[in-house]
Amino acid sequence: MVKIGICLPIYGSIPSNSFINFINFLHDLFVNGRNWDIQIFMKPNMTIDKARNDLVKVALEAKCDYIFFIDSDMILPKLTLERLYDMNVPVASGLYFAKSPPYLPVVRDFIEDRFIFKKIIDFGKIIEVGGVGMGCCLIKKEVFDKLEYPWFKFEWKKFAPSAYEENDLEAKDRVYQESEDLGFCKAVLESGFKIYLNSDIVCGHVGGVVNEENYLSKKPDMIKLAELETKWIGYLAEFDKISYKEALDRLEFAHDLYKKEWNRDNPKTPQEIKEWYSKSKFMKYDLLAWHLAGRRQFDLNLVKTIEENLPNKEIEILDFGCGIGMNAYELLKKGYIHITCADVPGETFDFCQFVLKKEKLKSVRFLPVPIHPEFKNKFDLIISFDVLEHVPDEEFEETINKLIELKKENGTFFITTSFGLQEAHPMHFNLSEEKRKLLKKLI
């Protein structure tokens, strides 16, 4: 008789929906299920790695042939265990989604020695993957027999120094924490076993907002985001003459590297600050990470708002402080044909031009900042997002007056700012009452 150990680590309290679902799941197993010997093990109030290790130990001591992990916030569909068992693979997982934005599937590919979120999932399939969470996961005993104990552990890992060129930024000491589930999956792969996802088993995740239905509605946007991410990381790698993996490594810790770069050079005067922005190696990585993650929905909403309020695709648009050119890229793709990108000449602005030229977006123009006094063109729309907080105090009034000068009489400003927060963003200046008054001139 097959013996299956159902292992439930409990952190905090069990949500009522999950508790009811678990009782119904057990009822179905004992009343309508197969001729299995079911053992139930629980571990409350432990760190998750210790709880998982202790659960596996007691299950193996009880001579279980399979370990079935269920997280205490899962909602399992009917016949979950039966369908995972019938896959007859070393590690089989159901599908569920993360609780926090952008609510990705809790599934990874394993590429070039690192885990990458698998953003695009086709339902109703059995898929070989690189990593899964342990929220709904059936594992054969033989996997644990072959792996070394502890099977689950949080570990601090070092990225290889070759992933970064700037040794003065102590990149060789860059570390990250590998979660207990991904560490286990990596050991599984290294031992020669394979991991599979059954995307026909879609679990609920209490506290999350994504299920099969609304994932399908979001899937086209996720496909576009995955394609955009792959393309732009490729451009970073090509521009910096590094491997795709090295570009990916830099992107993952972009903000910390960018911040460390600023603190190392510690520019003070307006001239030093301009020179720093012109030579920064990591600013373009920080900006791309920003646009791909927390800023993505803002970018999409921006384009939608411009299309709704300024549908004429022949208007003149200035992207002041364009960074890597992501907003200009999105607007050009939507058919706006007169866009000018303006920024401080240097590494990031060069990358902006590199990408837009690679995309063959020929109608875009490039304008160095500070803008020459003799420049006379005026614009229907001026966009400037989280730029003005980077302008030195001594040049703030001049910058505001220049933006006003560049706007047509009936033109429009779309501007956001995020002054201060210098602990996280030391390159941000503070907002003074004088600056507040100057900003009101843009309204």
φ, ψ of residue 67 to 5 degrees: the values are -110, 125
Give the helix/strand (H/E) hosting 382. Answer: strand 379-385
Give the helix/strand (H/E) hosting 368. Answer: strand 365-368
How far is 107 from 201, CA to CA, in rounded Å?
13
Say what the pLDDT of residue 172 is.
54
Say what the pLDDT of residue 321 is.
92
Say what the pLDDT of residue 382 is.
94
pLDDT mean over 33-47: 90
Say what the pLDDT of residue 198 is.
97
Where does the pLDDT of residue 284 fall: very low under 50, low under 70, confident under 90, or very high at 90 and above?
very high
**Most confident by average pLDDT, 102-111, 131-140, 200-209:** 131-140
Q: What residue ranges define each of the domains in the chain, with the CATH number in brackets?
A: 3-218 (3.90.550.40), 298-440 (3.40.50.150)
pLDDT at 38 over 80: yes
What is the bridge-based pairing of β-strands 91-95 and 74-75? Answer: unpaired
Where does the pLDDT of residue 260 fall: very low under 50, low under 70, confident under 90, or very high at 90 and above?
confident
Angle at 186 between CA 180 and CA 189, to 5 degrees: 140
Is the model more confident about 128 or about 162? 128
Global pTM reads 0.70
* Percent of the chain residues topping a pLDDT of 90: 53
What letter would DSSP give residue 388? G
Query: What pLDDT digit, counting tens, does each position of 54-93 carry?
Result: 999 999 999 999 999 999 999 999 999 999 999 999 999 9
pLDDT mean over 109-128: 86
Where does the pLDDT of residue 423 fall: very low under 50, low under 70, confident under 90, or very high at 90 and above?
low
Q: In the structure encoding, which two tokens stand for residue 242, read together?
A: 């590094």
Residue among 46, 47, 43 nearest 57 (CA): 43
Is the model more confident about 150 or about 271? 150
Instruction: Among 38-52, 125-139, 327-341, 360-374, name the one with the lowest average pLDDT.
Output: 360-374
Where does the pLDDT of residue 176 fall: very low under 50, low under 70, confident under 90, or very high at 90 and above?
low
Q: Give yes or no for a cis peptide into 220 (omega within 30° of 0).
A: no
pLDDT mean over 241-267: 87
Q: Are 196 and 91 in contact (CB under 8 A)?
A: yes
Query: What pLDDT digit, counting tens, does each position of 307-341 carry?
Result: 999 999 999 999 999 999 999 999 999 999 899 99
How far is 417 from 439, CA to CA, in rounded Å?
10
Say what the pLDDT of residue 175 is.
62
pLDDT mean over 151-176: 60
pLDDT mean over 213-240: 85
Q: Give yes or no for a cis peptide into 370 (omega within 30° of 0).
A: yes
Angle at 254 between CA 248 and CA 257, to 5 degrees: 125
Say what the pLDDT of residue 322 is.
93
Say what the pLDDT of residue 164 is.
47
Residue among 140, 130, 123, 134 nearest 109 (CA): 130
Burial of 329 (0-12, 13-18, 19+ CB in 10 A): buried
How far is 346 from 13, CA to CA, in rounded Å?
54
Say what the pLDDT of residue 177 is.
63
CA distances from 70 to 9, 33, 150 (A): 8, 18, 19
Mean pLDDT of the chain: 88
Residue among 168, 133, 175 nearest 152 (CA): 133
Instruction: Among 101-105, 296-300, 307-311, name the one with the lowest average pLDDT.
Output: 101-105
Residue among 274, 258, 296, 397 nearest 345 (CA): 274
How far is 246 from 114, CA to CA, in rounded Å?
11
Q: List strands edge to edge, sheet with 66-70.
A: 37-44, 3-10, 66-70, 136-140, 91-95, 195-202, 126-129
Give the CA diameter of the chain.
Answer: 87
Evaluated on CA atoms 417, 421, 425, 426, the torsion sign reads: positive
Instruction: Among 249-258, 333-342, 408-417, name the one with the lowest average pLDDT.
Output: 249-258
- Please name every residue paired with 110 in a beta bridge, in sequence order, or none if there are none: 115
Say what the pLDDT of residue 161 is.
47
Q: How many CA atoms lie within 13 A of 334 on its CB side?
A: 24
**Most confident by average pLDDT, 212-221, 250-259, 261-270, 378-387:** 378-387
pLDDT at 363 over 60: yes
Where does the pLDDT of residue 422 fall: very low under 50, low under 70, confident under 90, or very high at 90 and above?
low
